[in-house]
Amino acid sequence: MRFLTSSKGFITILSVVVIGLAVAAFLLFGPPQLLALSESPDFCASCHVMEEQHTAWSHAGAHRRVRCVDCHLPNGNHVVHYVWKSIDGMKDVISFNTGMVPERITLSSHGAKVVQSNCIRCHAEAVSKLDTTRQCWGCHRQLRHRMSGTVATR
């Protein structure tokens, strides 16, 4: 108890708290370059199981100028975006490192809602008179990563 009442003890405790908060802030937010890197398509493709999706995306016409996170993460709110980025990222890390990667990567029901919402957000003017209850990729089959570069018919 005397340690805490001395000025040396107080400074030591305060230093540990400040350093701990600084380390926590770095781990939470990282340098801006790290954040930008983690939102690049090349970062997403760095996991070898995403190679097919990255190749398909790179041949997807106008959409190859759009980052993976622009379609696959919620983009209306920064907090929600980064919460889901953390959730999806940890799920991917765990799947990859445990070898539990599915043979065929598919969208979850939450992922489908996010992608649909982002399609409508980006193409709001074009879809304003359409039935937006249907999934966009139901008609635009070439947008699915497995179908990129092919001509799909109904």
Give the pLDDT confidence score for residue 74 in this predicted structure: 94
Note whether 23 and 72 are same-domain residues: no
Residues found in the chain: 154
113: pLDDT confidence band, cut at 50, 70 and 90?
A: very high
Note whether 9 and 37 are same-domain residues: no
Residues 6+ apart with CB under 8 A from 60: 142, 143, 148, 149
Note whether 86 and 58 are same-domain residues: yes
More confident residue, 120 or 149: 120
Kind and range of the H or E run holding 32? helix 32-37
On whether the pTM is more than 0.85, the answer is no
Domain hosting 98: range is 31-147
Give the pLDDT confidence score for residue 54 in this predicted structure: 83
Q: Is residue 99 over pLDDT 50? A: yes
Note whether 16 and 35 are same-domain residues: no
Among the listed ranges 54-63, 84-93, 100-109, 145-154, which one has the minimum average pLDDT value? 145-154
Give the pLDDT confidence score for residue 73 in this predicted structure: 94
Note whether 58 and 73 are same-domain residues: yes
* Mean residue pLDDT across the chain: 80
105: pLDDT confidence band, cut at 50, 70 and 90?
A: confident
**How many separate domains does the chain show?**
2
Residue 48, burial from CB neighbour count under 10 angstroms (0-12, 13-18, 19+): exposed
Give the pLDDT confidence score for residue 149 in this predicted structure: 47
Classified as helix, coil or strand, 62 is helix
**Structure tokens of 49?**
């199981």
Q: Is residue 39 over pLDDT 50? A: yes
Average pLDDT over residues 84-111: 85
